[in-house]
Structures are given as C-alpha cells and as structure tokens.
Structure 1
C-alpha cells in the first residue's frame, strides 16, 4: 500500500446522529456523523503513520506552530455562518501549510449556488434559469420564471432547507415557500426552473501523476432514473425515505467534458469536486459545484473511485498525494 510521508492533521466537527433533530433546517446535518468520521480516520491511519486529530478550529490554531510541515485534511463544516467553509483553507494559507481541498475563493464561490452557475456559464456550461431573492420585495419576480420551480437556500449545503417537496407548480406555492425559507435562513433564497431528465453527478479530481480523474454517474430513486418532478432532497438523502442507487455512465459529450474540465482547472486550488446537474436533450445542466464532496466509501465520490478499480484507501491516498503534488507554495 502506498503511504503519505507527511503527517496528516485531521480536523472534523463530527456530530452524534442520535443528538441531531430530524428537522429540515438542522444546520448540524452537514457535519460528519460518527460513522463517517471514524471511517475516514481509519482510512487516513492506513495510509499515514501519524494522524493528529482536532475537533474544532481553536484547537488547531493553538497548535498550528507544530504543523508547518504537515498536510491538513478537513471535515470541519461549522454552522450558520456562510463563510464557514473558508476558515480552514484561509488559516492554512496564512501559515503556508499544505491542505487538501479547495481554497477560500473556491469555497466561497461554490457556497453561493447562483454565483457559481454564472461563473460556470462563462465556460459555456448550461444551467437552469433562476432568481436569487435577497429581499422579500423581489418575490413577485418569480412570476417571470417558467414553472415548476425549485425553491431552496442559495448558500447552504448538505440538503439543509432542500426537501423532496421543494417543487412549486405555481406562483402562490413558490411565494409561500420563499417566505418560509427566508424566515428560517434570513438570507438569499434561490428559485430555479425545474429541468426534467437524469440526475447526473460528475466526479473530477487531481491525481498524483498529474492527470484528471473523471467519472459520471446517474442516480436512481426507487428504481427511476428519468425524473419528471423528483428532487433528491433531505428526506431521501438524509432520512433515506426512498431507495437510491447509482450507475456509472458515459453521457457527457467530449465538447461539454472539455468545458467542465476547463472550469475545474481555472478554479485553481480545488483538488477534487462533485458536480451535480441534470442531463436532458443530450446536454448537461449544472445544479451546483461541491468542492467539499463527501469522502465516505458510500458517497458518490467513493462510488466513483471504487467503480474505477480503486480501493477506499487508494482513493484517499490519490486525493491527498494529488493535492501535495499540485500545491504551489
């Protein structure tokens, strides 16, 4: 087995699932649960002889002088603050410490679904028409969109605030949904035209030898892959109320693949990413960019690497060593 020679600093704010509520708006749902945390930790210890763990940012900062030659692996998500995913990379860059994942710019851009779609559009990548509502007075503008629409928080992750039932068939329903979410999150709410088709996930990553890992997979919900009104929301993703499965496919044209790869490379320090969208009419339509994709064996990332012949430990090694090789400091 290949091993990472640098010490690994593992930062994770894992949460006990038994103490979490079943609320659609529970911000701790994005944090890793105990199983996810222990699985990643065991994998890291398998590929590195020294793994040092911290459970909050303050611990890491207090001991940061000891980690100038180490590499940081972070599953720290924080809560509520929209800049929370920028903290660890910004701290690491301030101290010139190697880390795996996206830098503060990429985290901030991708945290905002609306802005990340605009950025992707500049590379010729299609996406659904949308409206980012930053104040209640803008809600009537929803009437200009083609219904049905999906209503969701613009700057949240982990399906926080995105339900299986977040589809609005008409303006009055959309109005009520936006009002409800705005009352909960008190910041921008995204209203996005619904695109029928296959739920397509792309996994892309920097590999140790310099090439880009690429994998496409479609999602099936209760055996169905062509979605007319389905949403992969909180109830399905987190509460497992519907049965899901994934299948490796090859749907993206070489032209669209090149556009997506150019986007990934242009972002700079990112290392790996999950890209979610819909495939309809032989075209890919972007939903969101996730540079903090789940790294568990059961995730879309884990499924992609395993389907391409990598063990779980091989995946962790490849992602970490690929990040080390790409690091520019």
Structure 2
C-alpha cells in the first residue's frame, strides 16, 4: 500500500494536475539536486541563485515548484521561483519595438522582448534580502498583470530559482545567422534584422545575468520536434480550461514556436556540456538520465 501523501505533496499534485506516480520520479531525480543546492547555499552563507533551462513544455515550472517545496520542508530554506516569462515587456512596449526595429519583436519570447532592467532590480532585492514585488505576466492577455496582482515577497530568501526557456543561451557567431532555420525566418526576416537583434540582446543583456547565477540545471529535450508537440499539447489543455478565450489554433502555435526554434536548437547543442545538473528527457518527458558536472557556465 502506498504511503499517504503529505499536505504539500497533495497540493503540488493538484496545483500542477499531476498523477501520483510523478512523486516517485521526482524523489528519485530531484531530491538529490535539492540536497546539493541546499549544501551549496549553506557553504556560501548567502542567497543562492539556481538557473534552470528547459524548452517549452519540458516541465521546468513543475520542477521548480517541487524543488521549492522540498527545500522548505526538508531543509527549512525559503526560496522564490522566478520565471523569465514574467519579465516580458508590456504589449505597448513590444508594439513600439516592432515599429522601431522589426515587426517580429511584437511577439513575446525571444531575447530582446524582456525587461531585463526590471529582472535585475528584482534579483538585487531578492538576493540582498529586501522585500520586493515580483511581476506576473498574463499570457492570455499577452501583457503584464497590474502591480496589484504581483507576488509580494516580504521575508529574506535563501534560494532563488530562476527558470526560462532561453536561459543560458549564448550569442551565436554572426556567420551562423546568415541562413534561416525555418520558413518564418526565410519569409519574415529575410534580411536577418530580427535574428541579429535577438543575438545582440543575448550578448549585451543576458551575459550580465548569467554571471550572477551560481548554479545551472537543464532539462534536455530530445529534439525541437518534441518541443513543438509539447507546446501543442499545452495549448490544447489551455483550450479545455478557457473555452477558447486567448487560445491559439494549431497553425498559430506552429508559427509561434517558429520564433523559438533557432535558440531552442542552439541550447540543445550548446548547453548540456555547460551545466552543473543535466536531466535528459525522452519524447514522453520522462527523465532517462542525470549527469552531474562542475560545468563551464554559459
């Protein structure tokens, strides 16, 4: 007979709509990582920043939710989860960017569409133990929630879990940008202005963020084709919950994900050798292996 669930386990499964057997896998793969992160934070005697990379639909948000609970319940550590998605520029800001630089920048997602100043200021306060309001982004409205709906963090945190689909992506050599990787780039960015702008944002805006990260974890998808399937699955679940409001069609999902293809494939090639914790996934998002290494940070 299975052991009864603790309150936090039951809430986690309900919150993320997960089957009970998720816990067995999480305990096997994630608990040792939580133990190491707790040990590193204790040795450092300061707030610790763990960066988590995972392509769309890979399960990084659920992983961070689980780690947050384990760090609290088993190690007494207060942590906060930040999503890079919550730091997108507002819709008006992106519309202006689309006018000033390139129309594709109206679509949220790629580097260059985030408010990195807001992220930096938020991290400053979290890592120094000051109270802070953490922004939240409403994907159904494609805009930031008003400040009244932000998360208010009042007490000091020992660990910040920062997750994002392109977190850790490095700027590519300019010559690598010459050839389009898909129809979107070929037809809507024929002159390469958009992808060069994104590449410059990685170098200028993301590199300083990477230097702040203490430890890196990656959920490695098998391929970009799997990522597209996972993202389509997410949208279908969203459609069932929202009855069509703010939900994309399959064709719209395909176009949306095309914005992410170049950097997703780049991360899948580049990042595995540069992280401290690598979790390899199969097409069903089951973890097949864990590789621990000191990592050469992005």
TM-score range, shorter chain: 0.3 to 0.5
Give the alignment's TM-score, normalised by structure 2. Answer: 0.32
Is the helix fraction higher in 1 or 2?
Answer: 2
User: Which one scores higher on RCO, CA 8 angstroms, separation ≥ 6?
Assistant: 2
Give the alignment's TM-score, normalised by structure 1. Answer: 0.30
